Amino acid sequence: MVVTYHTNKLQKVCNQEKAGIRALGPDCAKKLRQRMAELAAARGLSDISHLPPPKCHELVNRGGVFSVDLQQPYRLLFIPANDPVPRKTDGGIDLTQVTAIEDTHDAKNQRRG
Protein backbone atom coordinates (compact mmCIF):
# COMPACT_ATOMS: atom_id res chain seq x y z
CA MET A 1 0.00 0.00 0.00
CA VAL A 2 1.18 3.52 -0.72
CA VAL A 3 1.69 5.60 2.44
CA THR A 4 2.00 9.38 2.32
CA TYR A 5 2.53 11.78 5.20
CA HIS A 6 0.88 15.02 6.25
CA THR A 7 4.18 16.58 7.37
CA ASN A 8 7.91 15.95 6.91
CA LYS A 9 8.28 15.69 10.69
CA LEU A 10 5.71 12.91 10.83
CA GLN A 11 7.44 11.10 7.98
CA LYS A 12 10.72 11.18 9.90
CA VAL A 13 9.09 9.95 13.13
CA CYS A 14 7.47 7.06 11.23
CA ASN A 15 10.50 6.06 9.16
CA GLN A 16 13.66 7.04 11.02
CA GLU A 17 14.48 5.03 14.12
CA LYS A 18 16.21 7.85 16.00
CA ALA A 19 13.44 10.37 15.27
CA GLY A 20 10.80 7.85 16.36
CA ILE A 21 12.60 7.06 19.62
CA ARG A 22 13.13 10.75 20.34
CA ALA A 23 9.43 11.51 19.78
CA LEU A 24 7.78 8.40 21.25
CA GLY A 25 10.30 6.46 23.29
CA PRO A 26 11.88 3.14 22.25
CA ASP A 27 8.92 0.80 22.77
CA CYS A 28 6.27 2.89 21.06
CA ALA A 29 8.68 3.82 18.23
CA LYS A 30 9.35 0.12 17.62
CA LYS A 31 5.60 -0.59 17.47
CA LEU A 32 5.11 2.37 15.09
CA ARG A 33 7.79 1.05 12.72
CA GLN A 34 6.13 -2.39 12.86
CA ARG A 35 2.71 -0.95 11.99
CA MET A 36 4.18 1.16 9.18
CA ALA A 37 5.84 -1.96 7.72
CA GLU A 38 2.53 -3.84 7.92
CA LEU A 39 0.68 -1.01 6.17
CA ALA A 40 3.34 -0.68 3.46
CA ALA A 41 3.29 -4.45 2.81
CA ALA A 42 -0.51 -4.69 2.58
CA ARG A 43 -2.18 -4.79 -0.85
CA GLY A 44 -5.21 -3.02 0.58
CA LEU A 45 -6.55 -1.80 3.89
CA SER A 46 -8.62 -4.97 4.24
CA ASP A 47 -5.33 -6.91 4.68
CA ILE A 48 -4.79 -5.25 8.09
CA SER A 49 -6.54 -7.13 10.85
CA HIS A 50 -9.46 -5.52 12.65
CA LEU A 51 -8.59 -7.74 15.63
CA PRO A 52 -5.77 -7.02 18.10
CA PRO A 53 -2.87 -6.39 18.01
CA PRO A 54 -3.25 -3.91 15.10
CA LYS A 55 -7.03 -3.56 15.55
CA CYS A 56 -7.55 -1.55 12.37
CA HIS A 57 -10.91 0.20 12.49
CA GLU A 58 -12.74 3.30 11.33
CA LEU A 59 -13.33 5.79 14.13
CA VAL A 60 -17.04 6.12 14.84
CA ASN A 61 -16.94 9.81 15.73
CA ARG A 62 -14.59 10.77 12.87
CA GLY A 63 -15.97 9.18 9.71
CA GLY A 64 -13.29 8.28 7.18
CA VAL A 65 -10.46 8.30 9.74
CA PHE A 66 -8.93 4.93 10.59
CA SER A 67 -6.84 3.82 13.53
CA VAL A 68 -4.33 1.08 14.35
CA ASP A 69 -3.11 0.47 17.88
CA LEU A 70 0.47 1.19 18.83
CA GLN A 71 1.28 1.03 22.53
CA GLN A 72 -1.40 1.93 25.09
CA PRO A 73 -2.64 4.66 25.03
CA TYR A 74 -1.20 5.61 21.62
CA ARG A 75 -2.54 4.84 18.16
CA LEU A 76 -1.81 5.81 14.58
CA LEU A 77 -4.54 7.66 12.67
CA PHE A 78 -4.81 7.83 8.88
CA ILE A 79 -7.24 8.42 6.04
CA PRO A 80 -7.68 6.70 2.67
CA ALA A 81 -5.67 8.60 0.05
CA ASN A 82 -7.31 7.08 -3.03
CA ASP A 83 -8.96 9.74 -5.18
CA PRO A 84 -11.87 9.19 -5.13
CA VAL A 85 -12.21 7.13 -1.96
CA PRO A 86 -13.60 3.73 -3.06
CA ARG A 87 -17.15 3.13 -1.84
CA LYS A 88 -19.40 0.11 -1.50
CA THR A 89 -22.97 0.21 -2.76
CA ASP A 90 -24.18 0.99 0.78
CA GLY A 91 -21.93 4.08 0.89
CA GLY A 92 -19.31 2.66 3.24
CA ILE A 93 -15.61 2.68 2.40
CA ASP A 94 -14.52 -0.39 0.40
CA LEU A 95 -11.43 -1.51 2.35
CA THR A 96 -10.49 -4.02 -0.35
CA GLN A 97 -9.97 -1.12 -2.78
CA VAL A 98 -8.12 1.26 -0.43
CA THR A 99 -4.55 0.99 -1.72
CA ALA A 100 -3.19 4.31 -0.47
CA ILE A 101 -3.36 6.04 2.88
CA GLU A 102 -2.24 9.36 4.30
CA ASP A 103 -0.80 9.31 7.78
CA THR A 104 -2.36 12.45 9.17
CA HIS A 105 -1.81 12.58 12.89
CA ASP A 106 1.11 12.56 15.28
CA ALA A 107 0.58 9.38 17.33
CA LYS A 108 2.02 11.01 20.45
CA ASN A 109 -0.79 13.56 20.52
CA GLN A 110 -3.64 11.10 19.90
CA ARG A 111 -4.46 9.73 23.34
CA ARG A 112 -7.49 7.57 23.73
CA GLY A 113 -10.42 9.30 25.32
Does domain 2-109 fall under CATH 3.10.180.10? My reply is no
Average pLDDT over residues 85-105: 92
Structure confidence at residue 109 as a pLDDT band (50, 70, 90): very low
CA distance 105 to 78: 7
Strand order in the sheet with 100-103: 2-5, 100-103, 75-80, 66-69, 57-58
The domain limits of the chain are 2-109
Average pLDDT over residues 99-111: 67
Q: What is the pLDDT of residue 6?
A: 86
Q: Model confidence over 37-78: pLDDT tens digits?
A: 999 999 999 999 988 888 999 998 888 999 999 988 889 999
Q: What is the pLDDT of residue 105?
A: 60
Question: Quick check: 107 pLDDT over 80?
Answer: no
Question: Quick check: 21 pLDDT over 90?
Answer: yes
Helices 8-15, 17-24: crossing angle, 10 deg rounding: 100
